Structure 1
């Protein structure tokens, strides 16, 4: 079973991600909820990653229908101004119309929120990171590495604050004594 390899802190981070999703009234748990739950991870301590800046970046992406800055930039290269489209949609349908209106669904087995495919993949990648580093258990730092290796919104948000995969991997592989 996958959870047997998680440290107590990593299990707590997953539990905290569930709470983040619930607090956001999300219909599922995504990598962005894992990111918020992992902000206090010691490997991130020396980086300037203020929670409010991360929340703002995630909120801005949701407002754009989940598009990251890289996605918006790529579309801009094709002559599509995402900000203009978002503004037009919001004038017609109200603020946050593209945010997906996080509708919470009822789920079997006690109503627990499901992890979406990207969040599940993050957990699997975290195990691979731990294994590749020769670590017997998966810690929060391996989940951070998994988020950074995915090239998704959490990686982009962290990269904007100077947090990049190679540097974090070095720190995880050679922790201070």
Structure 2
């Protein structure tokens, strides 16, 4: 179910409902590989371990962070509105927010940056969307799980993933 266009709240809700036990991933799409400031967003769930979701089960939107930054840009926040509405509407107890990076930089740096990005998205979802904090957990996996395994430095590897768990 990989999507490359902006999804409505209803479409995301349907995907969350379908993927309750398998997860939902939100990653960037249609990115210019020369744009070093682009990164992705995705949702996650309760376990402290990363559980990859098959690419065909992913739903894609494009969220950008500035290069080497975990700050959520103001111009990217409106893109999370459909996600916020879906998270409120769907019968899911816990979402895990998983931060990812590309392979540029040291593994330690990437691990920390991925966690900071996941925490920033969590902060936004709590503060601006009104999602209950206890429904959101964060995990940073750094460069360990690239979306584009053939090119570990590819833009699409810099993302925050959201997984819905029952």
TM-score by length of 2: 0.25
Q: Which has the higher helix share?
A: 1
**Bigger Rg over Cα:** 1
TM-score by length of 1: 0.24
